[in-house]
A and B are shown apart, each in its own frame.
Chain A
Amino acid sequence: NAGVTQTPKFQVLKTGQSMTLQCAQDMNHEYMSWYRQDPGMGLRLIHYSVGAGITDQGEVPNGYNVSRSTTEDFPLRLLSAAPSQTSVYFCASSYSVASVPYEQYFGPGTRLTVT
């Protein structure tokens, strides 16, 4: 199993550009999420999905879109990049059993710089 994969690993964007961060998992997990990590802020939830076709907003959703057309993939779209979106982005997947959440498996991260 590859686990959770993210592409690209690094990206530099100019203000106003758009792009999609890719995330895929091969563990058949129903739950996937995107976090951003900023210095001194921990990880903050951007968007999450509890299954194909179902997404919802997290703590910091503004400026980002997601969709979940398959169980495996959960791309994150930056609509119009801003310097405030410079961050490290982590995708994660997990599962639950009888509503009991298990650990989240994280991808390696994407380091995004917006100039």
Chain B
Amino acid sequence: AQKVTQAQTEISVVEKEDVTLDCVYETRDTTYYLFWYKQPPSGELVFLIRRNSFDEQNEISGRYSWNFQKSTSSFNFTITASQVVDSAVYFCALSEGGGSEKLVFGKGMKLTVNP
């Protein structure tokens, strides 16, 4: 069965600090897809990234970067030089693909960035 674990439930940092959000997943499939979503205080869900199981290349998008390691079943998300606008709940999610777009979400991690 699929499972996504976000061990950290809440993190508080001061602006400009770097912060890493951990995500560990479990799946029996060799083909799967990992996602990160952001939920700001306004409540909507915002897609951040999708990564497939065949692509272990790390990705950087501005202040955001993602480290995918199949060996440890982890897909961690780092925010560099955090800003108050990064305050949100962040969800990691897993889909097994193959025509199944069902997402299994982690429980989320609340990030608070203080000025």
Asked whether, in the complex, the Cβ of A101 is within 8 Å of the Cβ of B45, the reply is no
State whether the Cβ of A74 lies closer than 8 Å to any Cβ in chain B: no
Given A40-B9, A101-B33, also A45-B52 (CB < 8 A):
no
Q: Are A42 and B99 in contact (CB under 8 A)?
A: no
Q: A88-B43, A106-B44, A109-B44 are in contact. Are A100 and B105 (CB under 8 A)?
A: no
Q: Is there contact, CB below 8 Å, between A106 and B105? A: no
Say how far A105's CB is from chain B's closest CB, in angstroms.
8
Closest-CB distance, B21 to chain A (whole angstroms): 14
Q: Which residues of A contact B102 (CB under 8 A)?
A: 33, 45, 48, 58
Question: A41-B107, A42-B108, A43-B91 are known contacts. Are A90 and B45 too (CB-CB below 8 A)?
Answer: yes
Instruction: Please give the distance in Å from A48's CB to the nearest CB on chain B.
Output: 6
Alpha-carbon distance between A35 and B99 when the two chains are bound, in angstroms:
19
How far is it, in angstroms, between the C-alpha of A105 and the C-alpha of B44 when the chains are bound? Answer: 10
Give complex CA distance A18, B21 in Å.
40
* CB closest chain-A residue, reference B42: A108
- Of all chain A residues, the one with the shortest Cβ separation from B32 is A101
Query: Which B residues are closer than 8 A to A by beta carbons?
Result: 4, 9, 33, 35, 43-45, 47, 50, 52, 91, 93, 95, 97-108
Interface on A for B, CB 8 Å cutoff? 31, 33, 35, 40-45, 48, 50, 58-59, 88, 90, 92, 94, 96, 99-106, 108-109
The 8 closest A-B pairs by CB, nearest first: A106-B45, A101-B101, A42-B105, A103-B47, A42-B107, A43-B105, A99-B99, A31-B101
> Given A92-B45, A101-B101, A109-B44, 20 more contacts at CB 8 Å?
A33-B103, A42-B105, A43-B91, A43-B103, A43-B105, A44-B105, A45-B103, A48-B102, A88-B43, A96-B97, A99-B98, A99-B99, A100-B97, A101-B33, A101-B50, A101-B95, A101-B100, A102-B50, A104-B103, A109-B43
